Amino acid sequence: MSGRRPLILLHGWTMCGAIFDDLAARLGDVAQCHAPDLPGHGAAADRPATLDACAALVAEQVAAARAPPVLLGWSMGAAAAWRYIAREGCGALAGLVTVDMSPRLRPAADWCHGLKRQSAEDIMRATARIRQDWPAATGSIAANMFATPAGAPGLAPQQARRLILSQDAAAMQALWEDLLTLDERATIAGIDRPYLVCSGAQSRVYPASAATWLAQAAPQARHQVFARSGHSPHLEEPAAMSDALCRFIRALPA
């Protein structure tokens, strides 16, 4: 296509659209970036804090794009993208990128690719902590975003925690509980667009097997691992991520 490809950037749980400012600047030559705050967060705090509301916002963004866009979903943003695809299909999209996410968080007899090293009982305890002592829970949420205690260039865990604390606790709790009901495994095989599955080799949140499963399940998917990253490759390895996205976008059919 002529001109820059529309790229809709969907942030993770407890974050906001501005988390993509650096990535958007790096992609300025190839992509026209849009990074909305998702429902329950930031400027969209007044919208229902549900994945269905997130998918509805994605639909609005796709409809407003001047050409078929690429969706990039990080963590919860990937869940929003999958939920949109489950409802609307891929017909209006040029491609999909997901960053360090699993289509199902809870373990099951047939599923070991959810939250890393978390049993159902572990998840129940974490959920109770989120409900009962949100300020304390935010420290571990921020720390788990990164491979190391140093965080990422331009974003230390302490800064990430301040961003998390700026969100409405009740909305974050509601979205967390909605995420725990997520199961979009059946959606993945129907993603008939170029699909870049990104993961951090040092993620504390999801196992490498989740990305491997996604890349095998979607017909046009390929998997890219960011060796020095945890849950946030776009923050931890921004140059490598932007290079990968530039190549992906440029290779899309016109």
Position with higher pLDDT, 25 vs 2: 25
CATH of domain 5-250: 3.40.50.1820
Dump pLDDT digits (tens) for 108-119: 999 999 999 999
| 151/155 Cα distance (integer angstroms) | 6
Task: Quote the pLDDT of residue 1.
Answer: 60
Q: Does residue 254 carry a pLDDT above 90? A: no
pLDDT at 3: 80
Per-residue pLDDT, averaged over 30-53, amounts to 98
In the block, tokens 């046009």 appear at 220
Mean of pLDDT values over 73-91:
99
147-185: pLDDT as tens digits = 999 999 999 999 999 999 999 999 999 999 999 999 999
CA torsion 113-115-118-122 (nearest 10°) is: -140
- Of the candidates 244, 184, 245, 241, the one whose C-alpha atom is nearest the C-alpha of residue 218 is 184
**Domain spans of the chain, in order of start:** 5-250
From CA 141, how far away is CA 136, in angstroms rounded?
A: 9
What are the phi and psi torsion angles at 212 (to 5°)? -60, -45
What is the pLDDT of the chain when averaged over all its residues?
Answer: 97
